[in-house]
Amino acid sequence: MSGYILAIDQGTTSSRAIVFDGKMRSVASGQKEFRQIFPQSGWVEHDPEEIWQTTLWAARTAIDNAKIAPSDISAIGITNQRETVVVWDRATGKPIHNAIVWQDRRTARMCEALKEKDLEKTFSEKTGLLLDPYFSGTKLSWLLSNVQGARERAERGELCFGTIDTFLLWRLTGGKSFLTDATNVSRTLIYNIRTNDWDNELLDLLDIPRAMLPEVRDCAADFGMAQKELLGAEIPILGIAGDQQAATIGQACFKPGMLKSTYGTGCFALLNIGGEMVLSKNRLLTTIAYRLDGQTTYALEGSIFIAGAAVQWLRDGLKIIKSAGETAALAASADPSQQVYLVPAFTGLGAPWWDPDARGSIHGLTRNSGPAEFARAALESVCYQTRDLADAMHKDWKVAERETVLRVDGGMVASDWTMQALADILDAPVDRPQILETTALGAAWLAGSRAGVWPDMKGFAESWALERTFKPEMDDKTREAKLKGWHEAVKRTLSGS
Ligand SMILES: Nc1ncnc2c1ncn2[C@@H]1O[C@H](COP(=O)(O)OP(=O)(O)O)[C@@H](O)[C@H]1O
Ligand SMILES: O=P(O)(O)OC[C@H](O)CO
C-alpha cells in the first residue's frame, strides 16, 4: 500500500482537495471557488450542483497534479462546511432547492418563537446547541414548509436530508451510501449527543420526518466506495468529520484541555473536554469533537461568524487594501493613541452573545482615523472575540486549573502581527504549527488510520510540529483598558441596546 490519501475539504467559499503521501505530507491539491447566492438580506445559499461539480473538479485536479494513478490512493476522507442543509430526491438525486448555508439567518423568527415557548432548554440539554438560525434543524424545517409538497414527500420517504458530507457521499457513491458522521449531526439541532441518536421529541417540534434522515457512523468508518467513473478507480471512503472537528483532529487536540482555534472566514475555537458531556453555562456550544470506535469525545465550541471576512471587507467593501497580506503592515502603522473598535456583527453576533439581529458597528472614530486604524480595528476584533470565547471556556471548564494549549490555524494565522496581538489580548501563548492545512490533514488521518496506512492516534499526535510560539508582551494596564473599550463597543452594538 502506497499510503496516499485524498482529503476532500468542501468549505464555505471554495471546494478543495489535497493528496497526502504515506509520510502525511501534502503533495498536490486542487481548489475552486463557487458562487455565494444572497436572495435577500441575511439569506445565504449555495447551488448544490456547483458544490458537487467544484468538489469533483478539485478531487480530479489534485489526483492529476500528484502524478499518481487513482488506484494508488488508499482511501478518501471528507471534511465539510457544517450545518449547511441540502434536501434531494431519493430517486433522481436532484436537490429540491438551493442549499441553505450556515450563515443564513432566515429562521431567526422561528428560533424566537421556539424560545418564547420556553423550548431552548429542551434543545440545548439534548443537543448542546442553542436556538439560533446557525444550526441545520430550523433551516430544514423551513425548506419542508416552503417548498411545495416537500413535507408530504419527506414523510413518504421520497426525500433525503443531508449536511454537505452526506450529499457528497451520496454523489460519490452513485447513491449507494446515505450516511453521515457523529460530528456533522452534532450541529443539526435534532440529534441527541447524549444518547447518540436522532431525537424524536426535537424532530416533532420542528416537524421533520425521520424517514429523510441518514444513518450515523463513527468518524472513521466504512462509508462506501467512490465510483470508478468519477475518480478513475474505486476508492474506499473511510473518514468524515465537520471541518472544525477535522481541524481539531488535524491539530492533534486529543487530550482534554487542548484547544484549537481556526481563523478562516469565521473563527471556531474547540476545547477538548474528554468523554463527559458538559453543558455550557456561558453560551458556548457543546459538540462532538469526534467519535472513534464508538467512544464519543466532546468539545466546548465558541463560534465567531466574522474573522477573515472582516479583512475581506477591508479589501472588497472599503477597498483600503489590495490583498489580505497587506493588512498587518497597515495595522502596525495605526496611531497608538486612538482606540477605534470594529464590532464585525455583519451577520449577527455568535458566541457568547448569540444576537442574530445585531449589525456591525465602528466606535471611537476621530478626524484622524483612517485606513490604518480601520485595519488595526479589524484584526484586533478577531483577538477580542477570541478572548471572549476563552473567558467563557475558563468559566465553564476551569481551564486555568488544567494544562491548556492553544493551537491556531486557518488563512489569517499567516499574519505574525495578528498572532502577536492575539497572544497579547489573550494573555496566553499561541502555538502555530508547521502544517497549516490541518482541516484536510484531520480528514486524511481519519481515512489513513482506518485504512491502516497511517499511524494510530499516538503516532499521529507525535508528528505534530511547532513552527512558532507567540508569547504575550502587552502590559496588564493596556490590555485591561483595551478590553474595557471593546466590551463597551459590543454593548452598544447588541440589538437590544
Ligand atoms: N495575511 C493575512 N492577514 C490577515 N488575514 C488573512 C491573511 N491571509 C488570509 N487572510 C484571511 O483568511 C481568510 C481565508 O482563510 P481560509 O482558511 O482559506 O478560509 P476559509 O476556509 O473559511 O475559506 C480570508 O478571509 C482572508 O481575508
Ligand atoms: O467553511 P469554513 O471554513 O468557513 O467553516 C464553516 C464552519 O464549518 C461553519 O460552522
The tens digit of pLDDT for each residue in 270-328 reads: 999 999 998 988 889 999 999 999 999 999 999 898 999 999 999 999 999 999 999 99
CA atoms within 13 A on the CB side of 277: 21
Three-state SS letters, the chain: CCCEEEEEEECCCEEEEEEECCCCCEEEEEEEECCCECCCCCCCEECHHHHHHHHHHHHHHHHHHHCCCHHHEEEEEEEECCCCEEEEECCCCCECCCEECCCCCCCHHHHHHHHHCCCHHHHHHHHCCCCCCCCHHHHHHHHHHHCCCHHHHHHCCCEEEECHHHHHHHHHCCCCCCEEEHHHHCCCCCEECCCCEECHHHHHHCCCCHHHCCEEECCECCCCEECHHHHCCCEEEEEEEEHHHHHHHHCCCCCCCEEEEEECCCEEEEEEEECCCCCCCCCCEEEEEEEECCEEEEEEEEEECCCHHHHHHHHHHCCCCCCHHHHHHHHHCCCCCCCCEEECCECEECCCCCECCCCCEEECCCCCCCHHHHHHHHHHHHHHHHHHHHHHHHHHHCHHHCCCEEEEECHHHHCHHHHHHHHHHHCCCEEEECCCCHHHHHHHHHHHHHHCCCCCHHHHHHHCCEEEEECCCCCHHHHHHHHHHHHHHHHHHCCCC
For residue range 60-84, what is the model confidence (pLDDT) as tens digits? 999 999 999 999 999 999 999 999 9
Structure confidence by residue, pLDDT tens digits, 253-275: 999 888 999 999 899 999 999 99
411 annotated as belonging to a binding site for a ligand: yes
207 pLDDT exceeds 90? yes
Cα(325) to centroid(ligand 1), Å:
9
**pLDDT-based confidence at residue 400 (cuts at 50, 70, 90):** low
- Ligand 2 atom closest to Cα of residue 10: 1
Is 83 annotated in some ligand binding site? Answer: yes
Instruction: Please tell me the number of the ligand nearest to residue 51's CA.
Output: 2
Give residue-wise pLDDT tens across range 26-71.
Answer: 999 999 999 999 999 889 999 999 999 999 999 999 999 999 999 9
Residues with CB under 6 A from ligand 1: 11-13, 264-265, 308-309, 311-312, 324-325, 327-328, 410-412, 414-415, 418
Q: What confidence score (pLDDT) does residue 1 get? A: 57
Instruction: State pLDDT tens for residues 129-178.
Output: 999 999 999 999 999 999 999 999 999 999 999 999 999 999 999 999 99
| % residues pLDDT > 90 (the chain) | 88
The edge-to-edge listing of strands for the beta sheet with 295-304 is 285-292, 295-304, 267-274, 258-263, 405-409, 430-433, 466-470
Q: Is the pLDDT of residue 335 over 90?
A: yes
Q: pLDDT tens for residues 351-389?
A: 788 887 889 999 999 999 999 999 999 999 999 999 999
User: For residue 222, is pLDDT > 70?
Assistant: yes
At residue 402, does pLDDT exceed 50? no
pLDDT of 403: 53
Give per-residue pLDDT as tens, 90-132: 999 999 999 999 999 999 999 999 999 999 999 999 999 999 9
Work out the mean pLDDT of the chain and round it to a whole number. Answer: 94
- Say what the pLDDT of residue 404 is: 61
Q: Which CATH class is domain 4-243?
A: alpha beta
Residues lining ligand 2, Cβ inside 6 A: 11-12, 81-83, 102, 242-244, 264-266
CATH of domain 251-433+465-497: 3.30.420.40
Q: Atom 25, ligand 1: which residue's CA is nearest?
A: 308
Atom of ligand 1 nearest to the CA of 13: 23
Q: Indicate the domain borders of the chain.
A: 4-243, 251-433+465-497
Domains 4-243 and 251-433+465-497 share a fold: yes
pTM: 0.93
Cis peptide before 70 (omega within 30 of 0): no
Ligand 1 atom showing the smallest separation from residue 308 Cα: 25
265 is in an annotated binding site: yes
**410 C-alpha to center of ligand 1: Å?**
7
Question: What pLDDT shows up at residue 116?
Answer: 95
Is 14 within any annotated ligand binding site? yes
Which atom of ligand 1 is closest in space to residue 411's alpha carbon? 15
Helix axes 48-66, 164-172, angle to 10 degrees: 60
Ligand nearest, relative to CA of residue 382 = 1
The cell numbers describing 4, all together, are 496516499
Instruction: Look at ligand 2, atom 5, and give the residue with the nearest C-alpha.
Output: 81
**Does 341 show up as a binding residue in the annotation?**
no
Helices 476-493 & 416-426, crossing angle to 10 degrees? 90
Rounded to the nearest angstrom, the distance between the alpha carbon of 78 and the centre of ligand 2 is 14
Residue of 265, 304, 327 best suited for mutating to test ligand 1, as the one with most atoms within 8 Å of CB: 265
Supply the pLDDT for residue 406.
87
- The confidence band for 350, taking pLDDT boundaries of 50, 70 and 90, is confident
Q: Which of 412, 419, 437, 439 to mutate to test the pocket of ligand 1 (most atoms within 8 A of CB)?
A: 412
Between the CA of 473 and the centroid of ligand 1 the distance, in Å, is 25
Q: What is the dihedral of CA 334, 339, 340, 341, to 10 degrees?
A: 120
